[in-house]
């Protein structure tokens, strides 16, 4: 039994969205093509994964059992691709340096100059990162290391440490004047 790797990505998106139309928008594919891909996957597997309704889809018992395996396969595929990209950069002597805000070379030229002097064969490529996305792994997927800067001190706002009992970690919050931490 063989099926296209992309069909697993499609199935996971359809299962998570609960609707082929929304999944198609998320995947940037046409809805009829996604519907056809789901039908092909079910045909190749010989089992119905999705119960189709007028307002969306639900997973069949077989779909419920298949979803964790499909997610694991999709994650393994993404991890393998990221590893291959990292190996290619390593072989080329390249470091992808991600940053949020302005480039670190503007704030810390001495450290980077020292690195360049001691590693002249390494090429540093700068990549400005967008605002963090929901998953850190995807947000940092294309870089080897990343930095961001604390915002400058603002006398109009104060920072408060929040010790959240649910995760046991401290979090900093920037608050406008007159507001207390929740």
- Say what angle helices 20-27 and 5-17 make with each other, to 10 degrees: 130
Q: Is the predicted pLDDT of residue 166 greater than 60, yes or no?
A: no
Q: What is the pLDDT of residue 161?
A: 46
Q: Which CATH class is domain 5-80?
A: mainly alpha
Q: What is the pLDDT of residue 84?
A: 83
Contact 105, 149 (CB under 8 A): no
Segment 167-180 shows an average pLDDT of: 48
The answer to whether the 5-80 and 93-148 domains have the same CATH topology is no
Q: State pLDDT tens for residues 144-158.
A: 777 766 666 666 655
Domain regions of the chain by residue span? 5-80, 93-148
Segment 17-29 shows an average pLDDT of: 95
Question: Of all residues in the chain, what percent carry a pLDDT higher than 90?
Answer: 36
Segment 85-92 shows an average pLDDT of: 76
Q: Which of 65-69, 79-83, 153-157 has the highest mean pLDDT?
A: 65-69
Name the more confident of 24 and 125: 24
* 93-148 to CATH, choices 3.30.310.50, 3.80.30.20, 3.40.50.450, 3.40.190.10: 3.40.190.10
Q: Mean pLDDT, the chain, as a whole number? A: 79
Q: What is the pLDDT of residue 16?
A: 96
């Amino acid at each position: 039994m063989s099926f296209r790797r992309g069909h697993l990505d499609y199935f996971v998106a359809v299962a998570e969205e609960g609707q082929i139309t929304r999944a198609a928008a998320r995947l940037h594919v046409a809805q009829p093509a996604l519907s056809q891909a789901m039908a092909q996957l079910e045909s190749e597997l010989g089992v119905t994964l999705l119960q189709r309704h007028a307002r969306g889809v639900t997973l069949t018992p077989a779909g419920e059992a298949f979803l964790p395996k499909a997610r694991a396969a999709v994650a393994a595929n993404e991890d393998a691709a990221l590893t291959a990209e990292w190996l290619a950069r390593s072989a080329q002597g390249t470091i992808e340096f991600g940053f949020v805000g302005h480039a670190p070379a503007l704030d810390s030229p001495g450290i980077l100059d020292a690195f360049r002097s001691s590693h002249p064969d390494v090429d540093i490529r700068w990549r400005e990162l967008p605002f963090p996305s929901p998953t850190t792994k995807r947000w940092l997927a294309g870089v080897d290391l990343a930095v961001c800067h604390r915002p400058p001190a603002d006398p109009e706002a104060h920072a408060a440490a929040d010790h959240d009992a649910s995760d046991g970690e401290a979090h900093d919050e920037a608050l406008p004047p007159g507001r207390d931490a929740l």
